[in-house]
Chain A
Amino acid sequence: DTGVSQNPRHKITKRGQNVTFRCDPISEHNRLYWYRQTLGQGPEFLTYFQNEAQLEKSRLLSDRFSAERPKGSFSTLEIQRTEQGDSAMYLCASSSQGSGTEAFFGQGTRLTVV
């Protein structure tokens, strides 16, 4: 396994457009997390899944954001009607249940909203 994979690596979009990011976790991991990282800040938690169930969402996850993990494998994060403030690095991580938060991170998708 090559680790956590995120696509695309970079995305430039115009304000108001919708964007979707994909994350493929390590295959045997049943937990999947999304974080957002802005310049000069540490990653901030957005949401996490255990298998296909979305168990926790941060207050940072506004109504314009939606995440899915339909078959308990890959996940998508969609942002509708993007705003300039959405410009950030979106990080995905995965872990095995019982490993606490020893998560393995992908390289991230950098979103720029112009």
Chain B
Amino acid sequence: GDSVTQMEGPVTLSEEAFLTINCTYTATGYPSLFWYVQYPGEGLQLLLKATKADDKGSNKGFEATYRKETTSFHLEKGSVQVSDSAVYFCALPNSGYSTLTFGKGTMLLVSP
């Protein structure tokens, strides 16, 4: 079945460091891909998405490129802030687009 694999955390960075969180997927066809973020004490929020191969999703300085050759959708940010500390989830929809399969999540801790 469809699945998502994320790098394990926590990822600990200093403010202004470069961030990469790896995500690879297994799916039939080429579904949309998503990154969700969960800030402490809050619900999951959609961070960005890409709907087809080679698309780049971006939001709040974060980017991710849909690469079908490597079945990857890595999340990147050039300069992280303390406020980016959160748990990040990579996700893909089922074939009917009625639900999402999430990765296990990667916790990011950014220190000043």
Q: What is the bound-complex CA distance between A108 and B38, given in angstroms?
A: 11
A102 close to B46 (CB less than 8 A): yes
B98 close to A42 (CB less than 8 A): no
B27 at the interface (CB under 8 A from A): no
A74 at the interface (CB under 8 A from B): no
A102 close to B98 (CB less than 8 A): no
From 21 to 47 in chain B, residues with beta carbon under 8 angstroms from any chain A beta carbon are: 32, 34, 36, 41-46
From 16 to 43 in chain A, residues with beta carbon under 8 angstroms from any chain B beta carbon are: 33, 40-43
Residues of B within 8 A of A45 (CB): 99-101
Residues of A within 8 A of B98 (CB): 48, 55-56, 101
Q: 0/1 per residue, B98-111, Cβ < 8 Å to A?
A: 11111111000000
Q: What is the bound-complex CA distance between A45 and B99, given in angstroms?
A: 7
Count A-B contacts at CB 8 Å.
57
Residues of B within 8 A of A102 (CB): 46, 49
Residues of A within 8 A of B103 (CB): 42
A85 at the interface (CB under 8 A from B): no
Q: 0/1 per residue, A94-114, Cβ < 8 Å to B?
A: 000000111111111000000
B104 close to A42 (CB less than 8 A): yes
Residues of A within 8 A of B89 (CB): 42-43
Question: Contacts A41-B105, A43-B102 hold; do A100 and B42 have CB atoms under 8 A apart?
Answer: no
* 6 pairs of residues in contact across A and B, judged by CB atoms under 8 Å: A42-B103, A43-B100, A45-B100, A48-B98, A101-B97, A102-B49
